[in-house]
Amino acid sequence: MRHRQHDLLAPVPGTARQIHSFHFGPTSANEGRGSKTAYIQASLHADELPGMLVAWHLKQRLAELESAGQLLGEITLVPMANPIGQAQVVMDMPLGRYELETRENFNRAFINVSQRVGDEVEALLNDDAAHNLQLIRASLQQALLAHTPTTQLQSQRVTLQRLACQADVVLDLHCDFEAAAHLYTTPEAWPQVEALSRYIGADASLLASDSGGQSFDECFSLFWLQLQQRFGERFPIPQGAFAVTIEHRGVLDVSHAQAAADCQAIINYLTHLGVIAGQAPALPPLRQPATPLAGVEPVTTPVGGLLVFAATPGQMIAVGDLIAEVIDPIAGSVTPIHSSTAGLMYARSMRRMATAGMAIAHVAGSEAYRSGYLLSP
C-alpha cells in the first residue's frame, strides 16, 4: 500500500488541508497496462458516512489481497474525499453537502475538459482504438495538471479528478437521507454496471447520460461520451472510463455488518471486472430493472407542516398510494401526499417538519418524463 498526500490550496496561510490517497497493487502506467484499474472514494458529501466505513473495510481487505499478490490492476482509495466539508460542523450540526462559503454543492461543477482535450488530440487520432485511448488519457491528465485552481473548493475538485482520471472504473460512495441501496450511472455504462447492482443488492439503478450538474461520476462518463459524439463517426473512441455513484442507504446506516457486506460486494465486482484475480461469486438476481433518472418522481408537498410518513424506503408504490400526511397543528388540517408514479420508493427525507414545495420522497418510475437538470440541489 502506498500512501500519498495532496495539499489543497489553503484559503489563508496556516490552514492547509490534504487529500489522502491509498494505492494498492501494481503501479499503473499509461502504456502497456494489462488489467483494468479502479478508483474508489467516499464521503464527497462529507456528512454521508456509510461509504467511509465501507472504505475502511476495503482498505484492510485490499492490503491483504495486495500481500497475497491478487491485485492485477492498481486500485486507488480515497476514504475521505472532502476534508473541507468534514470540518463544517455548525451549532452541533454537520453540514457536508454544500460549501458554507460559496453554498456550492461539493458534488457539482467538476471541470469539463473534453473540448480542450478534443482540440488537442484531433490531428493525432487514427483507426487504432487502443492508440486513441492512450492518447486521450494522456491529454486528459495533462489538461487536469495544467488547470490552476484559485479557491480551496476548486483545488479539492481538481485533486480528486487528477487522482481518478486514469482509472477504468470510478466508484463514488455516497448515501441518501433514509434510503434503500441504489446507484446512479449512465445507460452506456449499464451493461458493465449491472453486475455491481446485483452484488450490492441495489433496489434501484437510475440511468442518465447527462443529469446537468457535472457531478463527479459524470465528469468521467460524460467526458468519453462527448469525445465519442465528436469523433465517433471518424475514429474509434473507446469508453475509456465509466463511473458509478453508489448510495449506501441512509445517513444513519453506519454499521460494520452492512459495511463489510458492501465491501465484499465491491471486491466481488472488481473480481468480476478482472481488477482482482480469481473467480467472482455467481451473480445474485437483479432486484429491480434499471430505470431512467428522468422517470424519478420527486414527491413534493404543496403545504408545510408536521411530516408523518406512511411509506418506507424499499417499498413498491402504486399510482395514488399514500406516501405521507402533512399536519397543520394550528388549522388542524391533514394533507395526504400521494405518489403520481408507480415504482420503488428508494429514498425519503430525514426532516419531519416539511416546508411548502419540499421534495419529501423519491419514487423510481419506469417512464422518463422529466428533462433538463435531473439532480437534487
- Residues near Zn ion, by CB under 5 A: 45, 48, 174
Pairing of strands 359-364, 296-300: antiparallel
Q: How far is the CB of 174 from Zn ion (least distance, A)?
A: 3
Q: Do 189 and 242 form a contact (C-beta atoms < 8 A)?
A: yes
Q: How far is the CB of 145 from Zn ion (least distance, A)?
A: 27
Q: How far is the CB of 286 from Zn ion (least distance, A)?
A: 23
Residues 6+ positions from 88 with CB-CB distance below 8 Å: 46, 94, 95, 96, 99, 100
Best CA proximity match to 28, nearest among 16, 20, 36: 36
Q: How far is the CB of 309 from Zn ion (least distance, A)?
A: 21
Rounded distance, CA 356 to CA 369, Å?
23
Q: Which is nearer to Zn ion, 43 or 132 (CB)?
A: 43
Q: Which is nearer to Zn ion, 48 or 297 (CB)?
A: 48
Q: How far is the CB of 44 from Zn ion (least distance, A)?
A: 7
Give the three cell numbers for residue 57.
473495510
Q: Which is nearer to Zn ion, 57 or 182 (CB)?
A: 182
Q: Do 54 and 262 form a contact (C-beta atoms < 8 A)?
A: yes
Sign of the torsion angle spanned by Cα atoms 187, 47, 77, 200: negative
Beta partners for 24?
A: 75
Beta partners for 51?
A: none
Give the three cell numbers for residue 274.
478482472
Q: Which is nearer to Zn ion, 48 or 203 (CB)?
A: 48
Q: Which is nearer to Zn ion, 45 or 57 (CB)?
A: 45
Q: How far is the CB of 369 from Zn ion (least distance, A)?
A: 24
Q: How far is the CB of 13 from Zn ion (least distance, A)?
A: 31
Look at the block and give the residue holding cell 447520460: 209
Q: Do 337 and 317 form a contact (C-beta atoms < 8 A)?
A: no
Give the three cell numbers for residue 290.
434499471
Q: Which is nearer to Zn ion, 82 or 166 (CB)?
A: 82
Q: Which is nearer to Zn ion, 157 or 174 (CB)?
A: 174
